[in-house]
Amino acid sequence: MKLSRYYLPTYRESPAEAEVISHQLMLRAGMVKKLAAGIYNWLPFGLRALRKVEEIIREEMNRAGAQEVFLPMVQPSELWKESGRWEAYGKELLRFQDRHEHESCLGPTHEEVIVDLVRGQLRSWRQLPVNLYQIQDKFRDEIRPRFGLMRGREFGMKDAYSFDADEPGAEKSYQGMYAAYSRIFARCGLEFRAVEAVTGPIGGKFSHEFMVLADTGEDTLAVCPKCGYAANLEKAEVKTAAKPETDPEQVLEKVHTPGRRTVEEVCAFLKLAPANLVKTLIFESDKGPVAAMVRGDRELNPNKLQGLINADRLEMATPERIQELTKGPLGFSGPVGLKIPIYLDQEVALLKNFITGANEPDYHLLNTNLTRDFQAAKIADLRVVVPGDFCNRCGSEYHFHKGIEVGHIFKLGLKYSKPMNATFLDQNGKEQFFIMGCYGIGTSRTVAASIEQNHDPSGIIWPLSIAPFQIYLLPINYKDERLRKVTDDLAAELEKLGLEVLLDDREESPGVKFKDADLIGIPLRILVGDKTLAKDSVEFKLRNQDKKELVLISKAAMAAKELILAQLEAISQKTDRIATQASKL
Ligand code: ATP
Ligand code: MG
């Protein structure tokens, strides 16, 4: 492909709207162009990378036995009413009416549609398992679309859905997807980690997020360097470094703390450290109202509380409800005299003589003590993990990494098949609900994440397997007849070998061409200039290395092919290693 004919508008300056590096570089390298908030056009150069990611995904999904389908983006409200999500899904679900005043939505995900597709058609246990996937745009009316393709409103996703007859089968399907995902991100040439994520009522090891490691990532993952346990912040189990206090218990004392509600205000007023204060938080759940206590310098993890009490629903109580339940206002809740179950973070149980709210406006209690002053329904790990915490499985100190969630696999169980009445006949001819799993990969986000992970101040550094082109052929002066001849011949030879070449035939200065080559980040740059020709050579330079190397013109095409094959082979070997580890999940 000749660059002079290629629709690749590049920009020297970063557009003001772009906050993160991948967004800046995708705009500057002419990959995408914004149409509206969170909605982007893909240009030819960007689309080539996206299509490569999609093709890797497609190959690995097929290899894992999944079958490709293509489902509509417009979905009728009736299906969403059946699953209960028409009301439950927030404003991210873009609902609208057609000319017949029929209500529909744009698909943010496709569980309802896929269940409707198979029910009635997939009838017998003999046909199971089945795994269907598609690669398609989703629409989620995100409140704050940002970071370009990272959090769009319209974005690309591969979504797959598995249907199994029994639990062991569902687990096998899940593991198959875990392995396939590991292969996909390894083949994309990305550094990633699979981390355990919150499962909700299903429990166990049945939700993993795949995170591309990048310092700029929005997500944080806790990784145990010793046993390999890795989880996101919503899930990571904590073994605390705190030791039990042994001070003698002091007399419980009520103190006046006028207008001091927050931990900071109370601690500043009483001249004590936040670790001496214990927050009492009041929640509503389908299991009734509950209280949870964590140290003032810690953050409660509501997922852990929800798991502990086995609730389907958990939310903070309103100020009115807090008043009703504790007899005191928001900001002054405490455990003493409280009539609802109290769940204690394990660290609180180690404290003596701590401060709590007095359930009375403008008062706190000094020297509160567990057992003497109140009882706990349960003591457990209830807080968010922080640096310095230890792995709950092996006791080593966690390492923390930043990452970008590019994939999520999840066991759904009967969550959709039951309300939507999707059944099959088991071996005994008995009607059973399908056991489902769902598996998503953000395709557009994966492209953005790969740039977030692989760039330098000059531009993008594509992993070879998803690079839009493999070779950037750069004649210093394409108008020079001799140079042009060598360049054209080499381009033809490279293309004949099946390599993807972008030939910079523009009448630009060498400086401009070098800058653009670095900006768009194609893995191998081949320079044709007077100086190299004087040695019957061209110059090879890999985008991810500083080294330059002269290669004889007569050998250049084969050498390029070998170099590229060697790099792809390295990626493929790494993929196999990662896949072997993944199969041990
Ligand atoms: P997030 O936590 O980032 O909002 P999610 O958990 O809602 O994502 P899933 O429903 O698990 O996302 O969707 C599967 C995948 O789709 C995600 O892992 C992510 O890669 C991608 N994805 C989700 N939302 C967006 C978005 N707004 N823009 C781009 N990709 C997205
Ligand atoms: Mg997710």
Helices 167-187 and 553-582 sit at what angle, rounded to 10 degrees? 150
Query: With pLDDT > 90 as the criterion, what percentage of the chain qualifies?
Result: 93
Strand, helix or coil for residue 127 = helix
Are 335 and 342 in contact by the 8 Å Cβ rule? The answer is: yes
- Pocket lining: 407 vs ligand 1, CB cutoff 6 Å: yes
pLDDT tens-digit series, residues 102-135: 999 999 999 999 999 999 999 999 999 999 999 9
The verdict on the CB of residue 146 being under 6 Å from ligand 1 is: no
CA of 140, closest atom in ligand 1: 27
Residue 244: inside a domain, yes or no? Answer: no
What CATH number is given to the structural domain containing 179?
Answer: 3.30.930.10
* Number of neighbours of residue 78 by Cβ within 10 angstroms: 13
CB-ligand 1 contact for 155 (6 Å cutoff)? yes
pLDDT of residue 205: 74
Confidence of residue 204 (pLDDT cuts 50, 70, 90): low
Tell me, yes or no, whether 233 and 309 share the same domain: no
Residue owning the nearest CA to atom 14 of ligand 1: 440
109 domain residue, yes or no: yes
Range of the domain at 314: 253-380
Say if residue 296 is in the same domain as residue 225: no
pLDDT in the model for residue 201: 63
**How many domains would you assign to the chain?**
3
Nearest 10 degrees: CA dihedral of 290, 291, 297, 300? Answer: -10
Question: Is 405 close to ligand 1, i.e. is its CB under 6 Å away?
Answer: yes
**Which pTM does this prediction carry?**
0.92
Mutate to test the pocket of ligand 1, among 53, 85, 408 (most ligand atoms within 8 A of CB): 408
Looking at residues 412-436, what average pLDDT do you find? 96
Question: Do 431 and 521 belong to one domain?
Answer: no
Q: Which residue among 155, 210, 443 has the greatest number of ligand 1 atoms within 8 angstroms of its CB, and so is best to mutate? A: 155
- Residue 14 in any domain: the answer is no
Q: Tell me, using a 6 A CB cutoff, whether residue 279 lines ligand 1.
A: no
Answer yes or no: do 80 and 228 share one domain: yes
Q: What's the CA-to-centroid distance between 442 and ligand 1, angstroms?
A: 6
Nearest ligand by distance to the CA of 199: 2
Sheet of 95-97: strand order equals: 74-76, 103-106, 95-97
Same domain, 184 and 329: no
410 lines ligand 1 (CB under 6 A): no
Q: Whose CA is nearest to atom 4 of ligand 1?
A: 151
Average pLDDT over residues 303-316: 93
66, 77, 204 from 107: Cα distances, Å: 21, 11, 29
Position 277 scores a pLDDT of 95
Q: Does residue 45 fall inside a structural domain? A: no
Find out whether the beta carbon of 442 lies less than 6 Å from any atom of ligand 1: yes
The Cα 472–Cα 475 span in angstroms is 10
Residues 168, 117, single domain; the answer is yes
Q: Which of 321, 346, 380 is the last residue of a domain?
A: 380
Q: Note whether residue 429 is domain-resident.
A: yes
Q: Which atom of ligand 1 is nearest to the CA of 210?
A: 18
pLDDT digits (tens, 9 = 90+) for 47-76: 999 999 999 999 999 999 999 999 999 999
Spatial separation of the C-alpha atoms in residues 220 and 252, rounded to whole Å? 40
> What is the per-residue pLDDT for 14?
87
Distance 152 CA to ligand 1 centre (A): 9
Residue 162 covered by a domain: yes
Q: Is the pLDDT of residue 172 over 90?
A: yes
Q: Is 157 close to ligand 1, i.e. is its CB under 6 Å away? A: yes
Residues 504-526 have a mean pLDDT of 97
CB within 5 A of ion ligand 2: which residues?
408
Domain end, chosen from 346, 380, 414, is at 380
pLDDT level of residue 240 (50, 70, 90 thresholds): confident
Report the alpha-carbon distance of residue 47 to residue 49 in Å, rounded. 5
Same structural domain, 287 and 366: yes
Supply the pLDDT for residue 221: 95
Measured in angstroms, how far is the CA atom of residue 103 from the centroid of ligand 1?
A: 25
Q: Does residue 584 surpass a pLDDT of 80?
A: no
* Distances from the Cα of 378 to the Cα of 279, 308, 325, 349, 353, angstroms: 16, 9, 19, 10, 20
Q: What six digits make up the tokens of 525?
A: 């740059």
For the CA of 109, the closest atom of ligand 1 is 10
Q: What is the pLDDT of residue 203?
A: 63
291 and 149 belong to one structural domain: no
> Is the residue at 102 inside a domain?
yes
Q: What are phi and psi of 318, to 5 degrees?
A: -75, 160
For residue 555, give the CATH number of its domain: 3.40.50.800
Whether residue 57 has its Cβ less than 6 Å from ligand 1: no
Please report whether residue 44 resides in a domain. Answer: no
Is 157 in contact with 443 (CB distance < 8 Å)? yes
- Shortest-distance Cα residue to atom 23 of ligand 1: 442
pLDDT band per the 50, 70, 90 thresholds, residue 17: confident
Say whether both 211 and 113 belong to one domain.
yes
Residue 437 CB neighbour total at 10 angstroms: 24
pLDDT digits (tens, 9 = 90+) for 565-577: 999 999 999 999 9
Cis bond upstream, residue 129 (ω within 30): yes
CB under 8 A, 24+ apart: contacts of 78-82: 79/112, 79/113, 79/115, 79/116, 79/420, 80/105, 80/112, 82/112, 82/419, 82/420
Mean pLDDT (whole number) for 499-526: 97
In DSSP terms, 31 is beta-bridged to none
Residues 289 and 373 in one domain: yes
- What amino acid occupies position 259? G
163 & 207 share domain: yes
Q: What is the H or E stretch that residue 380 is in?
A: strand 378-380
Q: What is the CATH number of the domain that holds 275?
A: 3.90.960.10
Report the atom number in ligand 1 closest to the C-alpha of 108: 10
Handedness of CA 154, 155, 156, 162 (dihedral sign): negative
340 and 376 in a single domain? The answer is yes
